[in-house]
Structure 1
């Protein structure tokens, strides 16, 4: 598997692109984790609310239980404390709900911030890199075959821009049909260069 071009300028661009892409992925993942932690910290308000509600409910229940033992008026006196106890239970439940909502929001924001930009970076960077690796691999296989130069020249006719082909020969396709060795070698070299492969002067083997 060939990861980088044999040609220094293209190889430098690939290395820089790899470094920038990996750095961007790391930064976005770190940013997503940071946002998740910051938002999740807001759940402490829900924890405090839950504890306050639980404590208030317990206190009102205890007072109501104590007053319920007062002869004649115990039942009537207890009723308001039972109502206050229910309010404490409602506050406790609200605190629990707040924690769940904050955790869901933190997770959604954290994943969104980390994954969406990472996916974009991968689409812009990784797909072309995979294409280069596959193209370089196919070119090396063709080069090592018996009819390597001829097939590479044919691939150049199919893949390269018309301006690049015209620079080799105004009638590059005709030269390929005539099996012009000089044009075939130039077309093959053109295809190999675009695939990141440098060949020796003989034009029959790959440099790396």
Structure 2
């Protein structure tokens, strides 16, 4: 496939647009990663909450078990510590849930910031570039086949501006009908130039 024009000015524009598109995509991806890392830092609070809840739960459970072994009063004293242990477990679960929520938010924001602009750039940049490559490859095949000169000249008559056609010949259609080789080569070259292919 032919990705760049044979003409220096058009090729320079294509290379510039390619570099800018890649730079913009890299910038959006970097921004998505940066936002993800920024938001994911909020999980520290959830980690601390989970650790505090786990520590409190373990302490209350240990105290309850130790006091539960005291004869006569152990069963009555253990109840409040068991309740406190449940509260610690609730705090621990809330910390874990907060971490999951923040991780999901960080992933969603990071992907949203990076993927949507990159997809838009790909649609606006890559699709026309691939269309150009396909059109240039087709034009090159027609020229190399030898039978495409007449077809390219006819296409130029239908797609190019009248002022551009008038610069080639006063009546380019009549010249095409009579098979004027010079006019047909000029028309074909004009059409090929819009495809980025130089007529050799």
Taking structure 2 as the reference length, the TM-score comes to 0.92
What's the counterpart of residue 86 of structure 1?
Answer: 86
What's the counterpart of residue 121 of structure 1?
Answer: 121
Confirm whether residue 103 of structure 1 aligns to residue 103 of structure 2: yes
Q: Using the alignment, how far apart are the partners of 2:126 and 2:170 within structure 1?
A: 36
Q: Once the 2 structures are TM-superposed, how far is the Cα of residue 173 of structure 1 from its aligned partner?
A: 3.7
Residues 93-135 of structure 1: per-residue CA shift (max 9 Å, x gap):
0111111111111111111111111111111111111111111
Residues 13-41 of structure 1: per-residue CA shift (max 9 Å, x gap):
11100110111111111111111111111
Change (3 A) 1:170 1:72: farther
Change (3 A) 1:178 1:100: same
Structure 2 runs not aligned, ≥5 long? none
1:1-208 correspondence to structure 2 within 5 Å: 1-169=1-169, 171-199=171-199, 205=200
Q: Using the alignment, how far apart are the partners of 2:24 and 2:41 within structure 1?
A: 26
Q: Once the 2 structures are TM-superposed, how far is the Cα of residue 198 of structure 1 from its aligned partner?
A: 1.9
Secondary structure, counterpart of 1:6 in structure 2? coil
Q: Using the alignment, how far apart are the partners of 1:192 and 1:80 within structure 2?
A: 88
Q: Using the alignment, how far apart are the partners of 2:162 and 2:32 within structure 1?
A: 46
Q: Using the alignment, how far apart are the partners of 2:153 and 2:112 within structure 1?
A: 47
Residues 65-92 of structure 1: per-residue CA shift (max 9 Å, x gap):
1111222222222111111100000000
Q: Once the 2 structures are TM-superposed, how far is the Cα of residue 45 of structure 1 from its aligned partner?
A: 1.1
**Of 178-187 and 155-164, the range deviating more from structure 2:** 155-164
Q: Using the alignment, how far apart are the partners of 1:169 and 1:127 within structure 2?
A: 35
**Of 45-54 and 1-10, the range deviating more from structure 2:** 1-10
Q: Using the alignment, how far apart are the partners of 2:134 and 2:65 within structure 1?
A: 78
Q: Using the alignment, how far apart are the partners of 2:41 and 2:108 within structure 1?
A: 14
RMSD: 1.7
